[in-house]
Amino acid sequence: MRHLARCIGVAGLLALLAGCSDRQDNHYASYEEAKSVGAVEHGWVPDWLPADTGEIDEAHDIDTNRSMVRFALPDNKTLALPLDCVSTLPGKLNKPFDTASWWPAVLPSPGDTVHHYYRCVDEGQVAVDELHGLGYVWQ
């Protein structure tokens, strides 16, 4: 009987641990808010976004240090990407590490004519949707 109780206890602990996730999802009304809570310092939100960037959604996994970010481009501004970013085709990019309700189902997608895609040495991958005023970064 003692052995059965121990097995049930171990099984319960394993089930509890399996339900834990190191993924976190956050929304920031502004770049300043993301910066103030450490999301920029930790690398979950890129430090090269303009200071007036708003409506930032981000998801990151602490174990893998992978992240995905969506943000609203500031009005009348062109996004200044880091110098190590080069234009590429969507088929040359990796998929994001996960999904989110705010992440487009088709990003990246071959034949996509809405987004401009970039691969960056240090920043991962970037998609810019100037038509809808949105940017995406994932690594």
How many percent of the chain have pLDDT more than 90?
52
pLDDT by residue (tens digit) across 2-40? Answer: 544 444 444 443 333 344 558 999 999 999 999 999 999
Tell me which residue has tokens 């976190």: 24
State if pTM tops 0.75: yes
Q: Which amino acid is at 68?
A: M
Tell me the percentage of the chain whose pLDDT exceeds 70: 85
Q: What is the pLDDT of residues 52-67, one digit of tens each?
A: 999 999 999 988 889 9
Q: Quick one: how far is CA 84 from the chain centroid?
A: 19
d(CA 6, CA 26): 38
Neighbours of 133 (CB within 10 A): 15
